[in-house]
Amino acid sequence: MGEVHDLMSALFRWMLAGIFLVACAVGAQAADKTIFLTFDDGPLPGTKNILSVLSQENVPAAMFMVGLHVETIPAGRELLAEAKAMSLVTIGNHSYSHANNRYRKYYSNTQAVVADMLHANDVLGLKPIVHARLPGRDVFRLPTVSREDLSINVAQWEREWLDYEFVAEAGFYLYGWDFEWVHSDDGKPVQSVDRLVSEIDHLFQYGRFTQRGKMILLMHDEMFQDQFNGQENLQALTRTLRQRGYAFGDIRDYAPSNP
């Protein structure tokens, strides 16, 4: 009986050790696979659906908002207030005018760019240091990270780099993105949730992100305005990513020295 008892005890300890190792491996995997959800251009009709899913799924996100939309769209101020009341949500500055969608003209006047961003701060009720994303530009200016927008040509970069520097000096932490859930002109997502997750899996295999193991995912509020699947798409994305071992990060933790 003593030998049987010793054998059972050893087997039990082995099982516990296996469970512990699996748990550690899952934890390490999640820690090495962090996705930062970011949404641009709100408040818009899709903002309400986004906030609902973030609350239901307990997922953090950064919402880079446009000051003009706060002042002009129906319920814009109410949506801003609702988002600011959620601890899961970090409100970011995405300019006041969104460059009126004329980006080259916008970035031809550095002082005007800084003034436009500061105007948005007033409307959004933000104070430096402010998390921000410039309209139409995938550029980083963080204490520990700096990266140019690789999608524009050298001539554009030479004209615009001072804009990025002066905006950062005005108290903004600028965030670009590593990957985008693309939408069509009518606001509908281009990739299905399954296709998007497959693309994310592929990108993490190579890990070519601005920060290792961290993907900033760009989306737009208008993608989730559809009455029937606006919430369903985002909910399916968050649940599928969790099932595949991804963790969701708070943008305030993206750069170690961020406030």
Per-domain residue ranges of the chain: 1-31, 34-252
On average, the pLDDT of the chain sits at 88
Q: What tokens were used for 168?
A: 């950062």
Q: Are 124 and 80 in contact (CB under 8 A)?
A: yes
Residues 204-222 have a mean pLDDT of: 95
User: Which numeric CATH code is attached to 34-252?
Assistant: 3.20.20.370
Q: Under a CB-based contact definition with an 8 Å cutoff, are residues 141 and 161 in contact?
A: no
**Per-residue pLDDT for 238 more than 80?**
yes
| pLDDT of 208 strictly over 60 | yes
Burial 31-49 (b: 16+ CB within 10 A, else e): eebbbbbbbbbbbbbbbbb
At residue 157 the predicted structure's pLDDT band, cuts being 50, 70 and 90, is very high
159: pLDDT strictly greater than 70: yes
Instruction: Indicate the residue type of 9.
Output: S
Query: Which band of pLDDT confidence, cut at 50, 70 and 90, is reported for residue 257?
Result: low
Q: What is the pLDDT of residue 26?
A: 38
Residues 6+ apart with CB under 8 A from 124: 65, 67, 70, 80, 91, 93
CA 112 to chain centroid, in Å, comes to: 26
Q: Give the model's pLDDT for residue 144.
A: 87
Q: What is the pLDDT of residue 31?
A: 52
The predicted-structure confidence for 100-150, as pLDDT tens digits, reads as follows 999 999 999 999 999 999 999 999 999 988 999 999 999 999 998 999 999
Structure tokens at 237: 């994305």
- Of residues 44 and 4, more confidently modeled: 44
Tens of pLDDT, residue by residue over 8-58, are 444 334 433 443 333 333 333 445 899 999 999 999 999 999 999 999 999
Rounded-to-integer distance, Cα 168 and Cα 156, Å: 18
- Return the pLDDT at 228: 72
State mean pLDDT over 73-99: 98
Distance CA 92, CA 80 (A): 11
Using alpha carbons, list the distances in angstroms from residue 79 to 9, 185, 224, 235. 58, 23, 14, 20
- Name the nearest CA neighbour of 247 among 38, 31, 61: 31
